Amino acid sequence: MHSWHSNKEIQEYINKNLQADLHSLLLKKSPFPEISMQEIVQQIKGKQVAQKKFPFLLQDGIIFPPQLNLEQSSSEKTAVYKSEILKGKKFIDLTSGFGIDAYHLSKNFEEITLVEQNAELLEIVKHNWTILGKKAKFINQKLEDFLNGNKEEFDVIYLDPARRDQNKNKVFLLEDLSPNILEIQDNLLSISREVVIKLSPLIDLKYLVSVLKNVSKIEIIAVRNDVKEMVVFLSENYSGEIICNCINLESEETEFSFKIDAEKTAQTEYSEPKRFIYIPNNTILKAGIFNLVSEKFELKKLHPNTHLYTSESRIDDFPGRILEMEVIDSKQIKKKDQFNLISKNYPLKPEEIKKKYQLKDGGERYLIFTQSKKGKIILKSV
């Protein structure tokens, strides 16, 4: 492992250059013989990412891997959330990567094992965990080889499959991931009572349920309404109803849970806009539970293809934004006025609306261009 991590002068140089122009920095010669300028810039990039994504690593002595490994790592926020719902004696991460998930998810376990095929990356994780005072068993091996030779059982297995093919193109189907989840799911469930798989937020919910066995729960996790990941829980011998939880972290919105088949029988009614308009958060939109939301909160929908809801009285625990609005005529829109523009099931995009009506972005008021069953409408904040 690199010896420069304990050099205070190098650490000070990295910290002083966190706001520097990295392209200009790369053209310079490293002032330290034991570390190249390329390595210094890699550490600066790592700290820049850590400031937003995993601030618990912002301490001297921590080593950051190349950019791609940082991009593929979970954020500290989502990892901490997942850690609160997992516990047991023996935890194993079969695709540990930079180890962010493993570090947090394993906090309620006595024995921790990390498997990673990239030897250099695993050494970095091992070094960082020593700095952080965290113990684990580190295994440098391909996941498939580990499974073929393993006779040990675990309480929880965690996986975050690689979502890029050999040409570095993004892939989403389970059979295209590395490892191929469909090929190993039986093997995984034979050595653990619970298997937890982190997947792309772009993957289809219905597809997951149709191809995976023993699915007990699915978590759709967003941070400030940006859906970050889909997490699937496979439980040994489970054959009951599948629960889906929609979570929007760092918001004041209530978690919304539902049975995966509930949307099939849910009913919705339609109405022209009433006093309050409800905009579902992105976890609800990802789940596709448009009728269920209407039925659950006793809200009317504006249009079959307009995922906006309405009511005369305010429903406070709705998982999304709630706006008090009124229908207006386009002639009531003044040039240079300032609004947050939203376009839902409407021919024009927000930028086109902004240009057409000569509006400014921002402010506290909203202008929604959408459709009810009677046709195109414009809604303005009251």
Q: What is the residue extent of each domain of the chain?
A: 4-56, 71-259, 265-381
pLDDT at 173: 83
Counts of helices then strands in the chain (DSSP H, E)? 14, 16
Please write down the long-range contacts of 211-215, taking CB distance under 8 Å and 24 or more positions apart: 211/174, 211/182, 212/174, 212/181, 212/182, 212/185, 213/185, 213/186, 213/189, 214/189, 214/238, 214/239, 215/242
pLDDT at position 172: 73
Residue of 83, 79, 82 lying closest to 107 (CA atoms): 83
Residue 68: predicted pLDDT: 84
Tell me what percent of the residues of the chain surpass a pLDDT of 70. 98
The pLDDT assigned to 1 comes to 57
Averages of pLDDT over each 10 residues, the chain, 382 residues: 80 93 93 93 95 93 90 91 93 96 95 96 95 96 93 95 74 85 94 95 92 96 96 94 96 94 96 98 97 97 97 96 96 94 96 96 95 96 94
Return the structure tokens found at 297: 């909160």
Dump pLDDT digits (tens) for 43-99: 999 999 999 999 999 988 899 999 888 888 889 999 999 999 899 999 999 999 999
Q: What is the pLDDT of residue 337?
A: 94
Lookup: tokens for 141: 């091996």
Supply the DSSP string of 190-249, one letter for each residue: HHEEEEEEEE-TTS-HHHHHHH-SSEEEEEEEEETTEEEEEEEEEETT--SPPEEEEEEE
B/e letters for 174-188, b = 16+ CB within 10 Å, e = fewer, are: bebbbbebeebbeeb
Pick from 260, 210, 95: nearest CA to 163:
95
pLDDT of residue 163: 77
What residue has token string 């921790």?
A: 112
CA 53 remoteness from chain centre: 12
**CATH of the domain spanning 71-259, picked from 3.40.50.880, 3.40.50.150, 3.40.50.300, 3.40.50.1100:** 3.40.50.150
